[in-house]
């Protein structure tokens, strides 16, 4: 465990990292889009759908992805929510351009936390210590993604709920060709545990079940490849990461999220990264990374990385 990881664990246990707060009440029935089966015309449209900039594979056409991470209408959980989606897009594009090689093309990403973990004081109606943000706010980001030519990545912090159960609640949004899914094991805890009091974890079997469901959804709806991200910064978060199976229709990314000095971050990456199995991602923190790694340093030190997010 690196110094940066130890510091993060100590901060979680001591409560120095703010727990997710209720940014909105759970979506009411009137806020949920109706779930209807796709018509033949809709299915045909999806079958010809391309990703932003063309093509059907996320990392095709020499794409490099850059994201802002957070939830809607608040900066408490990350930089994405500090402003409106259109302004955020401009900032993502500006942050991503310095990472590009001569022949690479930038694909901006909104990484929106849609299921937010809650601490001991917020058990929720079913005791899972997590809540979903308003569907209308998620739809606003879907609309912004299509206006601006970006991907939307739905991030799950499921508390005591398994990832597949949480993911199925967002099926309506994942039917959009430009919407993908991210799993955040830090906030996946067991019975009797509370998000933020310990670093959570998930086994490969649960990841595989979730990825398999999303792969079938993608195939059955004739959608282009979807971004599928697993966040990790300690071995214990996904102890059997090498058992995660690749799935058709998914661009599978292992996203390494440790914060701290460049030496700490690179040590965390070396500890957990499995670049032969996944496309690699890496996170930069505006406040916690001191000094923050610059784009040239990231590309030089981590040549396998093709997706960088900011928090």
Q: Tell me: the pLDDT tens digits for 53-98?
A: 999 999 999 999 999 999 999 999 999 999 999 999 999 999 999 9
Q: Which residues are within 8 A (CB) of 82 and not within 5 positions of it... i.e. 6 or more apart?
A: 70, 75, 88
- Give 250-284 pLDDT, tens digit per residue: 999 999 999 999 999 999 999 999 999 999 999 99
Residues 138, 143, 147, 153, Cα dihedral to 10°: 40
Assess whether pLDDT exceeds 70 at residue 17: no
Establish if 266 belongs to a structural domain. yes
Answer for the pair 106, 97: CB distance below 8 angstroms, yes or no: yes
Handedness of CA 264, 12, 92, 76 (dihedral sign): negative
- C-alpha to C-alpha distance for 311 and 303, rounded to whole angstroms: 21
- Produce one character per residue of 285-294: b if its CB has 16 or more CB atoms within 10 Å, e if not: beebbeebbe
- C-alpha to C-alpha distance for 248 and 119, rounded to whole angstroms: 36
In the three-class reduction of DSSP (H, G, I as helix; E, B as strand; rest coil), residue 292 is classed as coil
Q: What average pLDDT score do residues 168-175 get?
A: 98
- C-alpha to C-alpha distance for 249 and 228, rounded to whole angstroms: 10
Q: Which of 48-52, 133-137, 224-228 has the weakest average pLDDT?
A: 48-52
Q: How many domains does the chain have?
A: 1
Establish if 204 belongs to a structural domain. yes
pLDDT at 299: 98
What CATH code is carried by the domain that includes residue 222?
Answer: 3.20.20
Establish if 35 belongs to a structural domain. no
Assess whether pLDDT exceeds 80 at residue 32: no
pLDDT at 125: 84
Reported confidence tier of residue 49, pLDDT bands at 50, 70, 90: confident
- C-alpha to C-alpha distance for 5 and 10, rounded to whole angstroms: 9
Answer for the pair 234, 5: CB distance below 8 angstroms, yes or no: yes
Q: 124 or 8: which carries more pLDDT confidence?
A: 124
Range of the domain at 95: 3-14+49-310
Establish if 24 belongs to a structural domain. no
- Give 285-310 pLDDT, tens digit per residue: 999 999 999 999 999 999 999 999 99
């Amino acid at each position: 465990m690196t110094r940066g990881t130890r510091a993060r664990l100590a901060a979680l246990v001591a409560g120095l990292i703010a727990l997710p707060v209720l940014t909105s009440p759970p979506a009411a029935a009137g806020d949920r889009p109706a779930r209807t089966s796709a018509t033949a015309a809709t299915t045909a449209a999806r079958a010809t759908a391309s990703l932003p900039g063309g093509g059907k594979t996320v990392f095709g056409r020499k794409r490099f992805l850059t994201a802002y991470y957070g939830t809607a209408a608040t900066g408490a959980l990350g930089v994405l929510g500090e402003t409106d989606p259109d302004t955020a897009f401009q900032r993502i594009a500006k942050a991503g351009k310095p990472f590009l090689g001569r022949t690479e093309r930038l694909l901006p990403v909104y990484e929106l936390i849609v299921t937010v973990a809650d601490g001991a004081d917020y058990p929720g109606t079913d005791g899972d210590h997590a809540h979903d943000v308003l569907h209308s706010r998620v739809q606003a980001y879907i609309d912004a993604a299509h206006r601006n030519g970006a991907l939307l990545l739905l991030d799950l912090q499921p508390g005591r709920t398994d990832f597949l159960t949480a993911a199925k609640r967002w099926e309506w949004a994942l039917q959009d060709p430009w919407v993908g899914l991210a799993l955040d094991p830090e906030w996946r805890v067991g019975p009797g545990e509370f998000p933020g009091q310990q670093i959570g974890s998930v086994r490969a079997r649960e990841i595989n079940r979730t990825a398999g469901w999303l792969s079938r959804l993608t195939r059955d709806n004739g959608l282009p490849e979807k971004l599928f991200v697993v966040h990790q910064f300690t071995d214990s978060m996904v102890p059997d990461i090498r058992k995660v199976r690749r799935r058709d229709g998914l661009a599978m990314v292992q996203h390494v999220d440790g914060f701290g000095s460049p030496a700490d971050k690179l040590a965390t990456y070396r500890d957990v990264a499995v670049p032969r199995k996944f496309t690699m991602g890496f996170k930069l923190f505006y406040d916690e990374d001191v000094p923050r790694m610059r784009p040239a340093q990231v590309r030089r030190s981590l040549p396998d990385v093709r997706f960088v997010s900011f928090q």
